[in-house]
Amino acid sequence: MEPSPVRSIPCAGAEPAPRAIVIGASAGGPPALGRLLAALDPGPDVGIAVVNHVGADGPDMLHTILARLSGRTVVLAQERCPLSGGLVHVAPSGYHLEVGRDRRFSLSVDPRVCYSRPAIDVLFASAAEAYGDALAGVVLTGASSDGAEGLKRIRELGGRAFVQEPSEAEVDTMPLAALECAGADLCAPLAVLASALTAFGRNPRAGLSGYLRPRMAE
């Protein structure tokens, strides 16, 4: 079946997902995101939100690319729409994406964070406040430190932190920065992350002992 890449969807009557996964990537992001999302099966009660730096100042094409690569329904996040289950929500170009305590999105043109807008830290920190221990944060390949502080906040508020194995990442700067600042409940290749995140989606308190060892902050 063909994926359903759409620019936006009506959100009237939609409800926020009870659990969420937030993912950040930069250089090398689209292929890594496509592989991860294609392998994920977290269930219909899990919403996914993505920030990717590459192309963040250009036309909004990432949702179309990720839908094609992953076979999932990928949409642009919209103001006041909920972080709905069963969808992948992508931050639109040029806007920070935040999750309010009501688990609905807001968009802003506030100053850049880590030279980026959208910034991963903004999404991660706001989602941590909204979801607490029902949140997983994922840092993938990239060439900046964006996402490190946000991942730290996710862990502080009881959420799970996942980081792509730096040796697998196209650019290892961002995974290494995340590990140094926040550590990780699981640092692993994409295939292992997908399995662990699927388990998290079904049960956020599921143990990770069957996967690779956690990595502690330096």
Residue 26 appears among annotated catalytic residues: yes
Q: Which of 53, 63, 89, 96 is catalytic?
A: 53
Residue 133 appears among annotated catalytic residues: no
d(CA 114, CA 112): 6
Copy the structure tokens of residue 29. 């992001």
**197-201 contacts at long range (C-beta below 8 A, 24 or more positions apart):** 197/21, 197/36, 197/40, 197/42, 197/136, 197/138, 197/162, 198/40, 198/41, 198/42, 200/19, 200/21, 200/42, 200/136, 200/160, 201/19, 201/21, 201/40, 201/41, 201/42, 201/43, 201/45, 201/46
Residue 13, Cβ density class (10 Å: 0-12 exposed, 13-18 middle, ≥19 buried): exposed
Q: Which of 26, 70, 84, 116 is catalytic?
A: 26
Residue 146 appears among annotated catalytic residues: yes
d(CA 137, CA 200): 11
Q: Which of 89, 96, 116, 146 is catalytic?
A: 146
d(CA 105, CA 91): 10
Provide the CA 54 distance to its chain's centre, in angstroms.
14
Catalytic residues: 26, 53, 146
